[in-house]
Chain A
Amino acid sequence: MSGKKILLDHGSGGLASQQLISDLFLKYLDNRTLRSLEDSAILDNKPGRLAFTTDSYVVDPIFFPGGDIGKLAVHGTINDLAMRGAVPYCLSLGLILEEGFAMDDLERIIISISEACREAGVPVVTGDTKVVPKGKGDKIFINTSGIGFVSEYVDISSKNAKEGDAVIVSGTIGDHGITIMTRRAGIAVQGDLHSDTMPLHTLVQKLLRELPGDVHTLRDPTRGGVATTLNEIAESSGLSIELSDEALPIRPQVRAACELLGLEPLYLANEGKCLAIVSGDQAQKALAVMQATAEGREAAIIGKLTAGKAGRVVINTPIGGARVVTPLHGLPLPRIC
């Protein structure tokens, strides 16, 4: 515990900034490109088309069971690339730090980022740090942009979902959302709740290799949960989606916490899961491929695309009834009624 804090000087570009870079960032994120510390990273071209994405991370709390804001930032951007079938190549890392932020916490996050990058095989090649006065930020905000390359033969998009396609989710739902929600004072519960944050690019590549042409859409159901993402897919493809309540994979702890607080797993964020829309006749094969991976062990077929009112998602209940699943309109909130 050093007790050292981030100062405005650390964002000024002067010696304090240089020191932060060499003592902290390069210590953990070191690679040839980053080390050169140029204004831009010059990269080699790869075959295929360029994929480019950006995301910002402002999660509170910044440390939570299963991860932290840094890990989330790396995985989130890798996954955005993977969802278009791109092989992630590299990341940028932009930090906005609040004056007074603990240096130890920053170090912990940078270590976490470096581990996530190393495990995923995707380096940070360029970065930036700014510091804002105390009260003008919330400890740390992170932006990661990512570049990847996608083969000429791969065309994955929400628009491509077809009637008869199966909806597969790569694992249990609601894990991340409920973990973050229950970290707040006044809503705390004890138990094994942890974020599911993880990179999915390896799983996706396996799926694309085994089922070329049959994977029509990939989406990661982050904010708004599976319900909101499926509504977007239904809307983009002009089709309806029919789900089965009984098929949804949910951890018992997640379900119990949701029951207690009046929340629904379908609407809670996931950070290590993807929805795959695949040709109906390849559904079982796709499921087997996913279940054979570490990331997709608990994958399940949860529904299908049907003709019908465009943009509509319904879920069939165990007694043979049905209800409409609308997208989330704001943040999910615990309730007593």
Chain B
Amino acid sequence: MCLAIPMRVTSVQGDPDDFTTNQIATVDADGIGRQIRLDIVDHWPAVGDYVIIHAGFAIHSLVEEEALKNIALLRELAENTPEELLS
């Protein structure tokens, strides 16, 4: 139900507490960019942060710590798998 991808914020506009301002960011991934909206993002991102984007809206500001936690979660199994099962 939900195609959403992480992209890097390259500019930010607007006031998170004032919905009459245009709450807009430009985002980039591998050289592709688009303007997206920040009206519903949970934490206001800074330039260089990553946001997860669905239908032109940031739905979540990705925190590096969370991403590292996520990779660790997935890796812990990989590392504990005995050698003979990895062929």
Contact = CB atoms under 8 A, between A and B. Distances in A.
Determine whether A and B are in direct contact in the complex, meaning some CB atoms lie less than 8 angstroms apart. Answer: yes
Contacts, number: 40
A256 B28 CA distance: 9
Contacts of B2: 336-337
Given A336-B2, A337-B3, A253 B32 contact: yes
A47 interface: no
Interface string B60-78: 0000000000000000000
Contacts of B55: 336
A257 B34 CA distance: 10
Interface residues of B, number: 14
A260 B31 contact: no
Contacts of B1: 337
Interface stretch (A29-37, A184-192, A205-213): A184-192
Given A336-B54, A337-B2, A256 B30 contact: yes
B46 to A, nearest CB: 21
A262 B2 CA distance: 10
Interface in B23-57: 29-34, 53-55
B33 A252 contact: no
Contacts of A191: 31-33
B3 A335 contact: yes
Interface residues of A, number: 17
Contacts of A256: 29-32
17 contacts: A191-B31, A191-B33, A252-B30, A252-B31, A256-B30, A256-B32, A259-B5, A259-B29, A260-B5, A260-B7, A262-B3, A336-B2, A336-B3, A336-B55, A337-B1, A337-B2, A337-B3
The 9 lowest CB-CB distance pairs between A and B, nearest first, are A252-B30, A191-B32, A256-B30, A256-B32, A190-B33, A256-B29, A253-B31, A262-B3, A336-B55
Given A189-B34, A191-B32, 12 more contacts: A188-B34, A192-B31, A193-B32, A252-B30, A253-B31, A253-B32, A256-B30, A259-B29, A260-B29, A260-B53, A336-B2, A337-B2
